[in-house]
Amino acid sequence: MSTAQADEVPVLTEAMLRRLDRPGPRYTSYPTADRFVEAFGAAEYRQALEQRATGATVGGKPPLSLYLHIPFCESVCYYCACNKVITKHHERAAEYLDLLAREIALHVEVLGRGQAVSQLHFGGGSPTFLSDEELTRLMDLLRENFRLAPNAEISIEVDPRTATPQRLAHFRTLGFNRLSFGVQDFDVEVQKAVHRVQPWELVRDLVLAARELRYDSINADLIYGLPRQTPASFTQTIERIGELRPDRIALYAYAHLPQRFKPQRRIDPLQLPGPEARVQMLGSAISGFNALGYAYIGMDHFALPGDALAQAKRQGRLHRNFQGYSTQPDCDLIALGVSAIGRMGATYSQNAKTIEEYADALRQGLLPVVRGLALTRDDLLRRAVVMALMCQGRLEFESIELSHLVRVRDYFRPELDELAELQNLGLVEVEPAAIQVTALGWYFVRAVAAVFDRHLRADQARERFSRII
């Protein structure tokens, strides 16, 4: 059985949604970023770069991806858990571009100029905080140092409040071919409660302009569980998204963690919808998107059947990286900018989280990595298992056994025993030589993958993660 099984539309009951509403990682990586250690720093990251440069990596050089973190926002959204800098002083952007240029130069010093790049993503913060001239300068800088493949995916996250149809046209001339609009919710009262007011008409006009400009893919981000949201109001947001008909939809559950994210302290917890309302919102969203013709990709993502992501899912070619689901094969990811997280070979790395610390390292001629992880043999094995389940919905024992020289039924005996509960719930089928995620289980694939997370099994502090629902 293959991922085609997941194209069936199962009946999701509120009882099922409630039963599986538990905290769990999103698995944009395994191990997850909370496992990074300060013992892995700039020297270790440089060594990983050198191994790529000399070809001393197992299996040869994988494709290369770039991520650039632009931390600036003009105003704070109260729900936000991203690393950002709130400022109206746009002159700070020019200084930041100087720092990015230094960081790029340090990478080129090791890797050489002209490395081929198959994927480029601008995230934030708000990348559209940068002016058109600054974005032009940054894209010129990247093209001077890297070679963007002719079919490269080049995407940017867009705050509708900082964009116009004219700006979208300029992005197109720079080579951007994918856009992601931060919508969250169209209800005005919800927008006021999270300090992000952006009229429906504004988003509609931008989506229409993007379509006329022939962007390859247009994504809309939504969040459920925000203050003042109700199942009825969120249903109206889903209906309006249906009118826009973006190619992709990302539907995230709001995680209220004010002890970790200071802006969330401005949210009145009494205004947050309760568990029953959240379950109703998720259920109505899933049924609404299915009715609109969207395919469920997995882990909060939906796409129209003709979109490259939906095609990759049907063909068993889904991959997952720090930006979520992707059509790109496993890439080495160079992450540029403050707090950015990258992957190089069998290592993960994260840059300094403050601009001051980031700038200080670069001025000393050092790569600004402050923590990371060198994956162990067990990490690599479990990463292969987690990603097979998260991306293909199926784990073939033979492929894991040949690649990692283990006997799956012996190595993962406790995990296979634990899967019995999920099998009884109809989420997985444990076959003699494989694990198959069912059509129903695809909606709860985080819970299936978490069974194989060694760190999570040993750690009871799961509330550091967002809830699955």
Q: What is the mean pLDDT of residues 384-406?
A: 94
Decide which of 289 and 457 is more confident.
Answer: 289
Specify the pLDDT at position 158.
97
Report the topology of domain 33-333: pyruvate-formate lyase- activating enzyme (3.80.30)
Torsion over CA of 242, 246, 251 and 257, rounded to 10 degrees? -110
CA distance 389 to 396: 10
Specify the pLDDT at position 6.
43
Query: DSSP assignment of 402-463, as one string?
Result: HHH---HHHHTHHHHHHHHHHHHTTSEEEETTEEEE-TTGGGGHHHHHHTT-HHHHT---GG
Q: Give the residue range(s) of CATH 1.10.10.920 domains in the chain.
A: 1-31+376-469
Q: Which two tokens stand for residue 453?
A: 């997370």
Q: What is the mean pLDDT of residues 393-397?
A: 95
Residue 121 has pLDDT above 60, yes or no: yes
Residue 387 has pLDDT above 50, yes or no: yes
Among residues 186, 200, 283, which one has the least CA distance to residue 228?
186
Is the pTM higher than 0.85? The answer reads: yes
pLDDT in tens, 211-260: 999 999 999 999 999 999 999 999 999 999 999 999 999 999 998 999 98
Specify the pLDDT at position 14.
67
Specify the pLDDT at position 13.
67
Percent of the chain having pLDDT more than 70?
92
Which segment of 46-50, 197-201, 317-321, 371-375 scores lowest on mean pLDDT?
317-321
Q: Give the residue range(s) of CATH 3.80.30.20 domains in the chain.
A: 33-333
Q: Are 290 and 261 in contact (CB under 8 A)?
A: no
CA distance 135 to 137: 5
pLDDT band at 55 (very low <50, low <70, confident <90, very high): confident
Q: Which two tokens stand for residue 145?
A: 């140092």
- Give the Cα-Cα-Cα angle 433, 346, 392 (nearest 5 degrees): 35
Grouping H, G, I as helix, E, B as strand and the rest as coil, residue 73 is: strand
Residue 51 has pLDDT above 70, yes or no: yes
Which residues touch 52 (CB under 8 Å, ≥6 apart)? 61, 111, 332, 344, 345
Q: What is the mean pLDDT of residues 182-187?
A: 96
Residue 292 has pLDDT above 70, yes or no: yes
Q: What is the mean pLDDT of residues 90-106?
A: 96
Residue 440 has pLDDT above 60, yes or no: yes
CA distance 105 to 8: 49
Residue 2 has pLDDT above 50, yes or no: no
pLDDT in tens, 170-182: 999 999 999 999 9
pLDDT in tens, 65-86: 999 999 999 999 999 988 899 9
Which segment of 98-102, 400-404, 424-428, 459-463 scores lowest on mean pLDDT?
459-463
Specify the pLDDT at position 82.
86
Q: How far is CA 112 from CA 46, 100, 106, 143, in A?
A: 13, 17, 10, 13
CA distance 76 to 196: 8
pLDDT in tens, 304-347: 999 999 999 888 888 888 878 888 777 899 999 999 999 999 99
Check residue 298 and give left, alpha or beta (phi > 0: left; psi -120 to 50: alpha): left
Residue 58 has pLDDT above 80, yes or no: no
> For the stretch 333-369, what's the b/e string if a residue is b when 16 or more beta carbons lie within 10 angstroms of its beta carbon?
bbbbbbbbbbbbbbbbbbbbbebeebbebbeeebbbb
CA distance 204 to 220: 11
CA distance 350 to 109: 19
pLDDT in tens, 9-20: 566 666 776 676
Q: Are 244 and 204 in contact (CB under 8 A)?
A: yes
CA distance 2 to 314: 9
pLDDT in tens, 247-287: 999 999 998 999 989 999 999 999 999 988 988 898 899 89
Specify the pLDDT at position 192.
97
Q: Which CATH class is domain 1-31+376-469?
A: mainly alpha
Grouping H, G, I as helix, E, B as strand and the rest as coil, residue 114 is: coil
Mean pLDDT of the chain: 91
Among residues 322, 317, 320, which one has the least CA distance to residue 334?
322
Helix (H) or strand (E) holding 321: strand 319-321
pLDDT in tens, 20-37: 666 678 888 899 999 999
Burial of 48 (0-12, 13-18, 19+ CB in 10 A): buried
CA distance 401 to 408: 7
CA distance 416 to 418: 5
Q: Are 289 and 238 in contact (CB under 8 A)?
A: yes
Strand 146-158 and strand 178-184: the pairing is: parallel
Which segment of 57-61, 129-133, 373-377, 437-441 scores lowest on mean pLDDT?
57-61
